[in-house]
Amino acid sequence: MPLITYREAVRHALAEELERDKNVVVLGEEVAQFNGAYKVTEGLLAKFGPDRIVDTPISEAGFIGMGIGASMLGVRPVMELMFWSFYSVAFDQILNNAANVRYMSGGQINCPIVIRGPANGGTNVGATHSHTPENVLANHPGVKVVVPSTAYDAKGLLKSAIRDNDPVFYLENTMLYGEKGEVPTEEYVIPLGKADVKRAGTDLTIVTYGRCVHHSLAAAAVLEKEHDISVEVVDLRSIRPLDIDTVLASVAKTHRVLIVEEQKPFCSVGSQLAYMIQREAFDELDGPIHRLSTVDAPAIYSPPVEAEQLPNPQRVIKAALEAMG
């Protein structure tokens, strides 16, 4: 299988879906002429033209709201947020309109919109540009939330997201755009809501997603080699819908759990996971559920310190050893 980057995988998914369905349009800041702020959409304008690949003004509430309205008429907009951090200026559109319009209309309206873009820290851009809002988004019934960690997952999940009839929020990671992975040339899709065991193990389950999958896999290798601890890494891939069954199956095997997330701890995705695991697998647990999150403060600028504020392999190793008691 060819090795392509995460960035290319997202681009290929967009191109294939643009090719497949003429109702699909890509809109966002700098997606067309500039070829994408992170070059995800590079070349799409040349291939699909200005009616399908559309540069928007810096006007998130306006263009996201416009996409929602267009989706109600059957257009399938894929909207790029240059950073998911900018969701806050479009919050009303995303979480009042897209999330609620089906419900408030008694099921008369579909909103098949995808909003995608990077949501991560680690790039020394300070607190305003480093938000990870998957917990905030997933708190709203009516929406779906996806956070791919690899090129393979990125492509297959985005294709599913674009074909989905509900609003799907797809959170990428600028730190992963250059990561290469094997991606088949033939078409495939990955259903939303299906977790993936990225590494099998018997002593400790790490439940994670996004970039923290990579930290966890790096930590697992060290834990195996230096501490003789066999770690299973479960990549959620999708936050809502949530494949809790794969998590519970792993817990039944290892009996110990560490949640690793690039989230602020209070009411995080991990908080929800911990609740569900203790509720549904209490008897399987040999110890309390542990969690490693981002250190609870706004994202610090200082480059070497930001690396320590976020989960990283060393912090995962330390947390894993604590979880093993």
Partner 1 sequence: MSKKSTANAEKTAGASVNAASPAQAPVNAALSREDKIELHRKMVRIRRFEERSLRAYQSKKIGGFLHLYIGQEAVAVGSCSLMGPNDHVITAYRDHGHAIAVGMDTKPLMAELYGKATGSSKGKGGSMHYFDPSRNFWGGHGIVGGQIPLGVGLAYGIKYKGLKGAAMAFMGDGAVNQGAVHEAYNLASLWKLPVVFVIENNGYSMGTSQARSSAGELAKRAEGYDMPWGQCNGHDLYEVRAMMDKFLTLAREKSQPSTVEIDTYRYRGHSVADPDNTYRSKQEVEDYRRTKDPIQVFQNQLVEEGVLDEALIEKIDAEARAEADTAIEFAEVSPFPTTEDIQKDVYWESDHPSERKSQGRLFFD
Instruction: Cite the active site residues.
Output: 129
Q: Choose the binding region for partner 1 from 7-15, 39-47, 187-195, 289-297 (rule: CB under 8 A).
A: 187-195
Rounded to a whole number of angstroms, the minimum distance from the CB of residue 229 to partner 1 is 28
Please choose, out of 11-19, 38-46, 129-137, 139-147, the segment that lies near partner 1 by the rule CB under 8 A: 139-147
* Three-class SS state of 198: strand
Residue among 11 and 144 whose Cβ is closer to partner 1: 144
Terminal-to-terminal C-alpha distance of the chain: 41
The verdict on 105 binding partner 1 (CB under 8 A) reads yes
- State the Cα–Cα distance between residues 5 and 228, nearest whole angstrom: 32
Nearer to partner 1, 195 or 220 (CB): 195
Q: Residues 47, 49, 165, 286: which binds partner 1 (CB under 8 A)?
A: 165
Query: Contact 193/22 with Cβ under 8 angstroms?
Result: no
Q: Which is nearer to partner 1, 131 or 159 (CB)?
A: 159
Of how many residues is the chain composed? Answer: 325
Largest CA distance in the chain: 58
b/e sequence 73-109, b meaning 16+ C-beta within 10 Å: eebbbbbbbbbbbbbebbeebbbebbbebbeeeeeee
Amino acid at 57: P
Instruction: Output the six-digit token pair for 95.
Output: 């979480």
Residue 32 sits in the site that holds partner 1 (CB under 8 A) = no
Under the binding rule (CB under 8 A), the answer on residue 213 touching partner 1 is no
User: CB 141 → partner 1: shortest distance, Å?
Assistant: 5
Q: Which of residues 46-85 bind partner 1 (CB under 8 A)?
A: 51, 56-57, 59, 61-75
| 245: Cα separation from own chain's centroid | 19
Residue ranges that bind partner 1, judged by CB under 8 A: 25, 51, 56-57, 59, 61-75, 92-93, 96-97, 101-110, 112, 141-142, 144, 160, 163-166, 191-195, 238, 240-245, 272, 276
